[in-house]
Structure 1
Amino acid sequence: MRFYAERPIRLAGQLLFDLIALTWIAGFAWLAELARSAVLELRAPGHRMIEAGGGLRTTFTDAAHSASGVPFVGDDLAGALVRGGSAGDVLVDAGARLLEVIGLAATGVAVVIVAVSLIPVLAVWSPRRFRYAHAAGEAVAMRAQGPDLLALRALTELPHQQLARIGTEPASAWRSGEPEVISQLAGMRLASLGLRVS
């Protein structure tokens, strides 16, 4: 496989389109990171819930500790305050779950943006580049073996209008083994791929 042409104009075009494709992917990766960061900004309420729950739990725990010293009802009062501190645990747990959900949502948004950006690259750019690489690799191998196979490939793949420049019956000339026509056809096939004749 050969990914790039040998002729400067075709090579410059290929490099330009490759650069555009890479810039496209990099731009959408940057956009995905921006979107992810924006979604992660929504974590502030979750952090506040965790802080509030932790503060509530600490307050109730301290109060329970203090209440345990009250005569007669201290143990009952302390037990009630400890149970009240479990509300803080609920808040901490809810805040942690909210942070987890927002983190998953942020990652999901970033993945969707990157996946959508890859659709045109995978549907248009990538198949064209690999088709070219395959065809150019075959043409370079045929060039090393001589012009006959390249001429045949030109007859089967080049447009009729292009073949008509050689003459009215290029296929007959190829079958007859006319060296000049075979050489012209081979050169046309190589030129269509941006490759040099030799």
Structure 2
Amino acid sequence: MRFYAERPIRVAGQLLFDLVAIGWVAAFWWLADRAEAAVLELRAPGHRMIEAGGGLRTTFTDAARTASDVPFVGDDLAGALGRGSSAGDVLVDAGGRVLEVIDLTAGAVSVAIVALSLIPVLAAWLPRRIRYARAAGQAVAMRAQGPDLLALRALTELPHRRLKRVGREPAVAWREGDSEVIAQLAGMRLASLGLRVS
């Protein structure tokens, strides 16, 4: 396989096409990173819930400890206040779940943006580049073997209007072994791929 042509103008076009594809993916990668950061900024309420829950739990635990020293009703009061500390645990748990959801959402948004950016690259750029690389690689191998196969490939792949430039019946000339027509057809096939004749 040969990924780039030999003629400067064709190489420049291919490089520009490749740079546009790379720039496209890089721009969307950057956008995905920014979007993920924006979603992660929504974590602040979850952190506040965790802090509030932790503070509430500490307050009720300290109050229960203090209440246990009260004569006669201390144990009952401490038990009631101790149950209040579970409200703090619920708040901490809820805050943790909020953070998990936000983290998952941020990751999903980032992956979705990158995936969407890859669709046109995988649908248009990559197949075109692979087709060219295969065709150019085959043409270079055929060029080393002689012009006959290249001429045949020109007859099967180039538009009929272009083939008429070498004569009215280029296929007949190829079958008859007309070396001048064969050389012209081979040159046309190489030129169509941006490759030199020799």
**Is the partner of 1:88 in helix, strand or coil?**
helix
Q: Tell me which residue corresponds to 2:189.
A: 189
Instruction: Measure how far apart 1:196 and its partner are.
Output: 0.8
Instruction: Measure how far apart 1:165 and its partner are.
Output: 0.6
**Is the partner of 1:32 in helix, strand or coil?**
helix
Q: Tell me which residue corresponds to 2:166.
A: 166
Q: Tell me which residue corresponds to 1:138.
A: 138
Q: Percent identity?
A: 80
Instruction: Measure how far apart 1:190 and its partner are.
Output: 0.4
Instruction: Measure how far apart 1:60 and its partner are.
Output: 0.5
Q: Tell me which residue corresponds to 1:105.
A: 105
CA RMSD of aligned residues (A): 0.6
Q: Deviations over 1:161-196 (max 9, x none)?
A: 111110101100000001111111001000000011
Q: Tell me which residue corresponds to 2:68.
A: 68
Q: Tell me which residue corresponds to 2:11.
A: 11
Matched residue type, 1:48: R
Distance in 2, matches of 1:76 and 1:97, equals 33
> When the two structures are aligned, how many residues end up with a matched partner?
198
Q: Tell me which residue corresponds to 1:147.
A: 147
Instruction: Measure how far apart 1:153 and its partner are.
Output: 0.1
Structure 2: any 5+ residue segments left out of the alignment?
none
Distance in 1, matches of 2:174 and 2:27, equals 50
**Is the partner of 2:40 in helix, strand or coil?**
helix
Q: Tell me which residue corresponds to 1:121.
A: 121
Structure 1: any 5+ residue segments left out of the alignment?
none
Distance in 2, matches of 1:82 and 1:148, equals 93
TM-score by length of 1: 0.99
Instruction: Measure how far apart 1:80 and its partner are.
Output: 1.0
Matched residue type, 2:74: G
Instruction: Measure how far apart 1:75 and its partner are.
Output: 1.2
Q: Tell me which residue corresponds to 2:51.
A: 51
Q: Tell me which residue corresponds to 2:92.
A: 92
Distance in 1, matches of 2:140 and 2:107, equals 45
Higher alpha-carbon deviation: 149-158 or 70-79: 70-79
Q: Tell me which residue corresponds to 1:25.
A: 25
Q: Deviations over 1:28-62 (max 9, x none)?
A: 00001111111111111100000000000000011
